[in-house]
Structure 1
C-alpha cells in the first residue's frame, strides 16, 4: 500500500462525518428492530441500574471523580495520574483536538468518524489514510506519513470489525507523535487480546475506552482516557468543571468491579457465538463479511446495498449505512450482533429484501472482485 495513493487531504469533505447509527432508527419514528446501533441489547443490567439510581440521592453535591478514577486505574494496573474520566469517548476526541498542539493529524479510515470531525471543528487540516478492502482493511504502518504528529486508529475498528495486532499498531509510535487508539469495543473481544490499555512503554500512546457500548449507557455518557500524566493533565485543563455527572461516576466505578468484569467476559463470549450465527446466516444468503470479524458488529458488501437497506426498513429492520465512512460506499452495510432470535428474524427479512430487489440473482460476496475479506 503506497502512502501517496492512500492518503487524501481532507479538503475533499466527502461523507457526512456527523451521521451515526442512532439516526437509522429515529429518522422517521418507525418502530424498527435495531441492528444499526452498536450498544449491547438488553442493557444496562438490573444491578447496574440500581446502583445508578441509588446515586440520585446525592445529586445536591458536586461530582467527585476520585473513587471512579482510582477504580479505573486499578482495573488497568495504572496510577491514577494516568486516567482521565470523560463524558463518553466522544468528549475525549474533542479534548485531544483542542488541547494538543498538532501540525499534521492523520486519521486511519474507515473508522468512527467523530475523531476527524472534532479535529476539523478545532481548525485542523486532517489527512486520511484509507485502508483498502482488497487488503481486508488491514493496517500497513508504512501508509501513515512519517511526519504525522497525531495518528488515530480504532481497535477493533468500527465499522470493519477488524482487530489489528498490538504489535502492528505500536509500530506507529515514535517520539514526537501522539498515537490515539480508540478501544471503545475492546471489551467485546474475549480476553481483550491486542489491547494496549495499561501499556506504559509505548511513546505518545493515548488509549480511549467507552462504557456505553457493553453496558448500555449511551444516554449517561461515560468513558475514559489512559495516557501519560502530562497528556492527561493537558486534556483535563481543556475540560469544563465537573464534566462527568455523579450517576456516570457511579457507573464507572461499578463497571470496574470484579462482578462487572466477569459479566463483561461472559458477554464477550456470547457476542462471539452470536456473531458466528449471524455470519453463517449471511453466508447462507451468499453474503460474506470482512473477515475475521472481532467486534460486536460485522461489515458486509451487498450490491445495491442502499436499496436493500431501504427494503429492510420497510420490513421493520434497521442496519447502518456504510457510505458515511470515508473509504466505503453505499454497497457497504454494518450489522450489529444480536441474540439468535433477533438475528433469525433479520435474516428472514434480508432474504425477502434480497429477493424483491434482485429476484433470485446470487449476491456477490465481499471481495469477489476486490479481494476483501481476506485475513
Structure 2
C-alpha cells in the first residue's frame, strides 16, 4: 500500500503508480538495437585493465569458500571506522533487501525522487511505505521539516539518483534522531570530487546507515559488490539476515582493490573528469532551452535529469537516432516530461545534443515551444 506523507508536496504519478522495478538496463536489453547507452550510470571504459587482471587472478582460488575478512578490513580502513561497522554485500541492492527484512520499523519513509529499490524492498517485506516527494521548483533539495517526526526509517540518496542533487551533510544529519534509522544511499558518492558531503566515516550520527556501491565507477555491475557502514549492532542484524558467503571471492578481491591507494586515486581522478564532462553536457542541453529543455540542478553526479516536452515520444525517437536514455516517469515524484541522461565523453555529448535537437525540431511540442514548423522525420539525425 502506498501511504503518502501529509507534509509532502503533491506530485502526480501515473494512474497505477510508477513501476518501481524498472531500471536503466531495461532501456538497452534489446540486442537487436545498436544504441549509445546513456541510460545506465556505469562509467564507460571500465573496469580498467589492472582491475580486470586483479580479479582474474582470484579465479585460481575458486575452490575455497569466500573469506571476506581482508576486504572488510580494507573498507573499514578506507573510511577510518572499526571493522565491526562494515558489512560487505552483493551490491547496494542486496543491502536494501537486508534492511527491509532485518530492521524492525513501523513507519518507513523514502524521500523521492530517488532510486526505487529501497521502496520496492520495503514493500516486498510487508511494510507500508510513506513517501516524501521533493519538488523541481525547490531544486529537489531535502527539507528535513517534510519528513514526519514519527518516521523510524528514512531513506535518502546522496547524490540522488536520478536528480543528481548533492544534499548538504548538515541537512541530512538533521534527519537523525534516537529511535530512527537514517539510511543514506551513497552509491554515486565516489563520482563526486572529494566525496563532498559524505557521511560514510561519521560515527557520531545516531542510527546512521550508509550504503556504498563499487559497481558504478568501476564497471562491476555484473560482479555485484557493495557495502554498508553502520553501527555495529545494525551490521550484526543485517549479517544475520544474509545467506552464507553472500559475496563471491572475485567480488571480495575487487572490493579490496577499489579501496586500495591505487583505486582511490584513480576514482578521484575519474570524478574530476566526469565533473568536467558533465558541465559540458549541461551547457549543450541549456543551449536547447528554446525547445523547452531544462536541466535539474546543480547536478553533482555522473548523470543529469532533464525535463523535455513530450519526453516519452522524444525518448522513442532518440532510439531511432541511436541513443538510449532513461525514462523518468518510473521514479515517484516525476512525471512524463523527464529523462535521465548519463554523462559520457564530450564527443558523445555533442552527437547526442545534435540528435536531441533534431528530434525536438521535428516534434509538435518543440515547434509549439519555438514557433518552428514540424520538420521531416529525417531531421532526427540533424545538427543542433
Residue 230 of structure 1 is matched in structure 2 by 233
Cross-structure match for 2:374: none
2:120 to 103, 113, 117: 117
Instruction: Name the SS of the counterpart of 1:115 in structure 2.
Output: helix
Q: Secondary structure at the match of 2:329?
A: coil
Q: 1:93-242 to 2 correspondence within 5 Å?
A: 93-242=96-245
Shift of 1:71: 0.3
For residues 1-375 of structure 1, the aligned pairs below 5 Å read 3-6=6-9, 14-27=17-30, 29-286=32-289, 287-358=293-364, 360-362=367-369
RMSD of equivalent CA atoms: 1.6
Task: Encode CA deviations 1:81-129: one digit per residue, 9 max, x unaligned.
Answer: 0000000000000000000101000000000000000000000000000
Give a deviation string over 1:25-72, Cα, whole Å, max 9, x none. Answer: 114631110000000011000000000000000000000000000000
Cα distance in 1 for residues equivalent to 2:304 and 2:340: 6
Number of equivalenced pairs? 361
Q: CA deviation at 1:288?
A: 2.5
For residue 189 of structure 1, report the CA deviation from its aligned partner: 0.5
Distance 1:28 1:132 in 2: 36
TM-score (norm 2): 0.91
Contact 2:7 2:147 in 1 (8 A): no
Task: Give ranges in structure 2 of 5+ residues lacking alignment.
Answer: 372-384
TM-score between both structures, scaled by the size of structure 1: 0.94
Instruction: Please say if residues 39 and 340 of structure 2, whose CA atoms lie closer than 8 Å, have aligned partners that are also in contact.
Output: yes
- The range that moved more, 294-303 or 25-34, is 25-34
User: Deviations along 1:336-364, whole A, 9 cap, x unmatched?
Assistant: 00001111111111111111213645469
Q: Is the 8 A contact 1:279 1:288 kept in 2?
A: no
